[in-house]
Structure 1
């Protein structure tokens, strides 16, 4: 069973700031272990999840899909766009809210704007969706909770069936949101006019979450095999436990972490850096090997610790970098996974999330208690805290 108390049973959402401070009470490791179940639920309920979007479009053409988000929601959108870039090109794009306002006057009238926030409370995303709606664009709220401020700001809602995450960092929600956005892009951009009365084949989850090989017409498009992905996640979480625990002990003393990834993980790099930053609470940077060698290597300090995330076969550059920095006396750590067809690197993400949780525990960090539990209230970066800012004006 996917954890998370239904909003209706809580008298609202946990993100309604019933607590005075942003402190969480869930277990991130429990949520990580639910990832494969969330993926199956997403596949089984994909048609229902997309129904509201179908009603919003009502047989009208969608030429562009614009995704707006912050944090892990933005990163999930980046991963979805990265996986679909060869199929849809510039037809699907992702922006931070401030960037979106710059391009809003340039959008064609048949653009669909989707605001993404797992808790549905991001102030910046909500205001961007409100701006788009006022400008006459169709707007969609993509959230993991019901009856959120973001839903109220949009024309329609796409609810990702991942359950609430009462923890200080998003885990299973990232995977669920990435897959949901891939499904949405297929539904609205596959040259299929959506009907309010029926949901055509383009709306079915197997068009993106497929049990088979991608079609010849779109052989360059990254699609996901649900069975392979679920099996890979489950095997990885159980089969690498000892390795991850040993690695977390070595990472615990790091003050400055440089993550170098294989190209197969490039779409997930922003989320990887975010997870290590927010859970381990150290300075973290991330690059591909090819990016790193062009100037960035000059920023390495005596405190730098390297973590090479190898997904598939290592390139010559990756191997040489590991050898170079080991010879220079730096701490060089590696974590490798076999690259699997039909998984687009998503099976690797729960393993890294688990590594972050265990490293934070080694460091004595409770990720459910932010460094400043009042941060969002003071800054006004969550919807519920906006009145605080406005009362001071």
Structure 2
């Protein structure tokens, strides 16, 4: 039986197309406001998959705009009641439901502290949207599976749309326009060779560098959330500093590589891990000791990274089925976690 998670993965291209059309004008207006505000830095407020989207956008904004981005722990406001000086900043608060009290509290506090606040949410009438000065509706449509898929992708894409308009970046706009078709193809890949290597394994690494490290973080969460596999995400720059000690013969490693400046470094780490006994898989067709996974490129390295996540979601849904686990109802979890 097809899972709800799988149905929602297949809805990703349509959701992104809807975001590109219906979200274009509101996002352009917010980008114009951001240019006028001319922030010195950005901050993000999020948890879980939304926080991984923020990590992705951190790299995107730093690389493309030269704008430093820092993550703020929501408990700074909700638990500790601390006031931050956020004058001359822009605050991106990302939450699919827009209901978590700590995200709402931190966003409200950020606005009161001088930040230009932007809610990125799947509910434009949510408490988060109400406290933010601006709102981006990610247009994902209902997402019923506990594991976020559509909302992660559309949150990341909404942030890239904001970046493209803020920078007036035609190359990124083209990458965004090409994404729905690429994502439809990516959703068909299930990486059977990686699934076979995982089999009954209970631990693995996911790795990336730069924007693809954010993708790696989301992948590790989904392995835990939907498959009950202990997956740890590391930057390819960090894994050899200590975590590599647990690698033994056949230890599975999934490396996310995109066609950007970090690709060669990720390939080099893959080679070193294979030499230590790992069974490594990589989203690259460059010569390498790791096994190549299929991938679908867009017209830009940043949207390429998002495309890899679509392929991963399709694969991890199958891993859950292989293990007899219902990915729509992970144990101990519910769809909306309202953290104080």
Whether the TM-score (by the shorter chain) exceeds 0.5 is yes
SS at match of 2:140: coil
1:233 equivalenced with 2:183 (yes/no):
yes
Kept in 1, the 8 Å contact 2:247–2:277? The answer is no
Equivalences for residues 158-307 of structure 1 within 5 A: 158-187=136-165, 190=167, 207=170, 209-211=172-174, 224-227=175-178, 229-238=179-188, 240-241=189-190, 244-245=191-192, 247-261=194-208, 265-300=212-247, 304-307=251-254
Aligned-partner Cα distance in 2 for 1:38–1:225:
13
Q: How many residue pairs are counted as aligned between the two chains?
A: 320
CA distance change for structure 1 residues 375 and 118 in 2, over 3 Å: closer, same or farther?
A: closer
Tell me the CA shift for residue 302 of structure 1.
7.8
* Residue 359 of structure 1: aligned partner: 319
Q: Which stretch of the first structure deviates more once superposed, 314-323 or 172-181?
A: 314-323
1:21 aligns with none
Q: Can you list the C-alpha shifts for 1:210-268, whole angstroms capped at 9, x where unaligned?
A: 23xxxxxxxxxxxx3422x3333223333x34xx2453344241111122446672342
TM-score, reference length from structure 1: 0.69
2:27 to 50, 59, 71: 50
Show the counterpart of 1:336.
293
Deviation digits for residues 242-297 of structure 1, max 9, x if unmatched?
A: xx245334424111112244667234222122122211122111234442222221
- Do the aligned partners of 2:3 and 2:327 also contact (CA within 8 Å) in 1? no
> What CA distance in whole angstroms lies between the structure 1 residues aligned with 2:39 and 2:108?
19
Residues in 2 aligned to 1:104 and 1:186: alpha-carbon distance in whole angstroms: 32
TM-score by length of 2: 0.79
1:348 aligned counterpart, secondary structure: helix
**For the structure 1 residues 55 and 260, does the alpha-carbon distance in structure 2 shift closer, same or farther, using more than 3 Å as the test?**
closer
Gaps of 5+ in 1: 1-24, 191-201, 212-223, 387-393
Q: Are 2:93 and 1:130 equivalent residues in the alignment? A: no
Q: Matched residues in 1 for 2:142 and 2:335: separation?
A: 21
* 1:368 aligned partner: 328
Task: Tell me by how many angstroms 1:150 deviates.
Answer: 1.4
Higher CA-based Rg: 1
- Displacement of 1:149 in angstroms is 2.2
Report the RMSD for the aligned CA atoms in angstroms. 3.5
